[in-house]
Structure 1
Amino acid sequence: MTIEGMTSGFSGVAAPGNRPLLSGAAIENGFAAFVRAGTTVETKALSSASDAAGGHAVPEAIDTLIESTLKSASPIRAIAQVVQVGGAGYRKLVTNGGTPSGWAGETAARPETATPTFNEIVPPMGELYANPAASQAMLDDAAFDVEGWLAGEIASEFARAEGQAFVSGNGVARPKGFLSYPTSAVGDATRAFGTMQYLASGAAADFGTEPENRLIDLVHLLRRPYRQGACWVMNAQTAARIRKFKTADGAFLWVPGLIEGRPDTLLGYPVVEAEDMPDIAAGNSAIAFGNFKAGYLIAERAETQVLRDPYSNKPFVHFYATRRVGGAVINSEAIKLMKFAVS
Structure 2
Amino acid sequence: MQQTPIAQAVTKASVPSLRSMHRRNDGGDSVAELRTGIKQLGEAFHEFKKSNDERLEKLSKGQGDPLLEGKVDELNKKLSDLEAFKKNTEETLKKKNRIGRSDADDADVEEHKKAFDGYLRKGREDGLRDLEVKAINLGTGEDGGFAVPEELDRNIAQLERDLSVMRTLANVISVGSEEYKRLVNTGGAASGWVGETDARPETAAPKLAQIAPFFGEIYANPAVTQKALDDIFFDVEAWLADELSWEFDEQEGGSFITGNGTNKPKGFLAYANSAVTDKVGTRPFGTLQFVTSGAAAALSNPDRLIDLIHSLKRGYRRNAVFLGNGLTLAALRKLKDNEGNYLWRPGLEAGEPGILLGYRYEEDEAMPDIAADSIPLAFGDFKRGYTIADVRGTRVLRDPFTNKPFVHFYTTKRVGGGVMDSLAIKLLKIAA
State the TM-score, normalizing by the size of structure 1.
Answer: 0.86
Displacement after TM superposition at 1:59 (Å): 2.2
Q: Contact 2:265–2:415 at 8 Å: present in 1 too?
A: yes
Aligned residue in 2 for 1:329? 419
Note closer, same or farther for the CA distance 1:51–1:217 as it changes in structure 2 (3 Å cut).
closer
Distance of 1:59 and 1:39 partners within structure 2: 15
Contact 2:189 2:207 in 1 (8 A): no
Answer yes or no: is the 8 Å Cα contact 1:45–1:59 preserved in 2.
no
Quick one: which of 330, 333, 343 aligns to 1:253? 343
Residue 201 of structure 1 is matched in structure 2 by: 293
What is the letter of the counterpart of residue 93 of structure 1?
Answer: L
Superposition deviation, residue 48 in structure 1: 5.4
1:160-211 per-position Cα deviation (integer Å, ceiling 9, x unaligned): 1111000000000000000001111111221111111111101221025xx2
In structure 2, which of residues 341, 355, 379 is the aligned counterpart of residue 265 of structure 1? Answer: 355
Q: Structure 1, residues 5-26: CA drift from partner, whole Å, max 9, x if none?
A: xxxxxxxxxxxxxxx9949998
Query: In the aligned structure 2, how far is the partner of 1:52 from the partner of 1:176?
Result: 29
Aligned residue in 2 for 1:339? 429
Contact preservation (8 Å) 2:132, 2:146:
no
Q: 2:333 aligns with which of 230, 234, 243?
A: 243
Deviation digits for residues 107-151 of structure 1 (CA, Å, limit 9, x no counterpart): 111122111122221211001111112222232223322122111
Alpha-carbon distance in 2 for matches of 1:167, 1:192 = 20
> Is 1:91 matched with 2:176?
no
Counterpart code for 1:82: V
Contact 1:46/1:58 (CA < 8 Å) preserved in 2?
A: no
In structure 2, what residue type is equivalent to 1:32?
A: D
Go from structure 1 to structure 2 and tell me whether the alpha carbon gap of 1:78 and 1:101 turns closer, same or farther (over 3 Å shift). same
Partner of 1:77: 167
Residues in 1 aligned to 2:191 and 2:111: alpha-carbon distance in whole angstroms: 63
Q: Does structure 2 conserve the Cα–Cα contact (< 8 Å) formed by 1:201 and 1:341?
A: yes
Alpha-carbon distance, 1:237 to partner: 1.1
Match of 2:237 among 135, 147, 154: 147
Moved more, 229-238 or 25-34: 25-34
In 2, distance between residues paired with 1:225 and 1:35? 49
Asked if 1:36 corresponds to 2:121, the answer is yes
More helix by share: 2
CA contact (8 A) 1:73 1:163 kept: no
Amino acid at match of 1:203: A
Structure 2 residue runs without a partner (length 5+): 1-104
Query: Which segments of 5 or more consecutive residues in structure 1 lack a partner in the other structure?
Result: 1-19
Query: C-alpha distance in 1, partners of 2:231/2:111?
Result: 19
Does structure 1 conserve the Cα–Cα contact (< 8 Å) formed by 2:109 and 2:135? Answer: no
Distance 1:63 1:259, change over 3 A: farther
Q: Which residue identity does 1:312 align to in structure 2?
A: T
Counterparts of 2:332 and 2:134, CA distance in 1: 47
Which digits, 9 at most, give the CA deviation of each residue in 1:287-332, with x for residues without a partner? 0001111111112212311121223333322111111111111111
For 1:174-253, list aligned pairs within 5 A: 174-189=264-279, 190-208=282-300, 211-253=301-343
* Equivalent residue for 1:161, pick from 227, 251, 261: 251
Q: 1:201 to 1:98 in 2, by over 3 A?
A: same
Specify the SS of the correspondent of 1:68. Answer: helix
CA distance in 2, matches of 1:77, 1:294: 13
**Structure with greater proportional strand content:** 1
Q: Share of identical aligned residues, percent?
A: 49
Aligned pair count reads 321
Q: Distance in 2 between matches of 1:207 and 1:52?
A: 53
Q: Identify which of 212, 222, 226 aligns with 1:132.
A: 222
CA drift of 1:29 comes to: 5.3
Matching residue's letter, 1:204? A
Residue 227 of structure 1 deviates from its aligned partner by 1.1
The CA deviation at 1:265 is 1.6
Q: In the TM superposition, what is the alpha-carbon distance from 1:43 to its structure 2 partner? A: 7.6
Structure 1 counterpart SS, 2:124: coil
SS in 2 for 1:252: coil
Secondary structure at the counterpart of residue 176 of structure 1 = coil
TM-score norm. by structure 2 comes to 0.69
Looking at structure 2, the residues matched to 193 and 21 of structure 1 have their Cα atoms a distance apart, in angstroms, of: 46
Is structure 2 residue 394 aligned with structure 1 residue 309?
A: no
State the distance in 1 between where 2:357 and 2:188 align: 30
> 1:240-293 deviations in whole A, cap 9, x for unaligned?
211222222222221322233332221222111111101111111000001111
User: Greater relative contact order (Cα 8 A, min sep 6): structure 1 or 2?
Assistant: 1
* Two-structure CA RMSD over aligned residues (Å): 2.5
Report if the CA contact (8 A) 2:170-2:384 is conserved: yes
